[in-house]
Copies of this chain bind each other. A is one copy, B any other.
Amino acid sequence: MKNLLVASTSTIFGGHFLQYLLPELKEHFKGINTLLFIPYARPGGISYDSYTSIVAEALKDFSFAVKGIHEFDDAKLAIDQAEAVFVGGGNTFVLVDQLYRQDLIKPLKKRLENGIPYLGTSAGSNIVGLSVKTTNDMPIVHPETLEALGMIPFNINPHYLDPDPDSKHKGETRETRIKEFHSCNNTTVIGLREGSWISVKDKQMLLKGEFNARIFKQGKAPFELPPNSDLQQLI
């Protein structure tokens, strides 16, 4: 049993933090008393406390409390006993580095396999895949490995961005980067546009939100899948 909500982004243009997901989260986190928030990917400059406060503020109309993992003496125990977990965005390398340094990957994986509700946004969604080798982030730290939770048999590319036909910039497009990924890896990549998420309920993996996802399979031309597609067909 798995129960995951894997979102491209925490925030869409013109909206507040998590705002567009609130109706979905009401159902997703139904019945819990406390949500464990993991702020390790924190965007530069803000403290774990501040990041946790932003989450608590965004979810203040729900009947559960939000507690940051850094508030616990024993982070592993906090995960072992969590009713539900949210891993927020920021820098994926920093997040993965912390999870491995504190030996939290296995405990987290175990809890998610046991079916507690999980929410990931951006970096927190990257880690749900097989590896974080399709992150868009800058490698500002060097984790011991880029292997991730492997809760879905794909990699995620969050904040997926279509090429700008008017661009004069010669840096690689996102599509080119993912093509490069497939020159050394055979994992299928889900390009998840902002406003999209994947709802994982055991083996079912539905694409949600109003946008198509762009799918990259090694050796094949990329293609689009519409909302409500079950990603199981990609296995």
User: What mask results when residues 8 to 47 of chain A are scored 1 for a CB within 8 Å of chain B, else 0?
Assistant: 0111111000000000000000000000000000011100
Q: Cβ of A221 < 8 Å from any Cβ of B?
A: no
The answer to whether A177 has its CB under 8 Å from any CB of chain B is: yes
Q: Are A184 and B141 in contact (CB under 8 A)?
A: yes
Check B137–A177 contact: CB distance below 8 A. Answer: yes
Number of A residues with CB within 8 Å of any CB on chain B: 44
As for how many copies of this chain the complex holds, the number is 2
User: Which of chain B's residues have a CB closer than 8 A to the CB of A10?
Assistant: 170
List B contacts of A12 (CB < 8 A).
Answer: 170
Interface presence of A208 (CB below 8 A) = no
A183-B139 contact given A9-B170, A169-B159, CB 8 Å threshold: no
A180–B91 contact, CB under 8 A? yes
Which of B94, B134, B136, B170 contacts A184 (CB under 8 A)?
Answer: B94
- In chain A, positions 75-99 with a C-beta closer than 8 Å to chain B are 90-91, 93-94
Given A168-B13, A170-B9, A194-B169: A183 and B142 interface contact (C-beta under 8 Å): no
Contacts of A132 in B (CB 8 A): 139
**Interface flag for A2 (CB, 8 Å):** no
Whether, in the assembled complex, A69 has its beta carbon less than 8 Å from a beta carbon of chain B, the answer is no
Q: Does A138 contact B (CB under 8 A)?
A: yes
Closest residue on chain B to residue A90 by CB atoms: B180
Query: Which A residues contact B (CB, under 8 angstroms)?
Result: 9-14, 43-45, 90-91, 93-94, 132-142, 145-146, 159, 161, 168-172, 176-185, 194
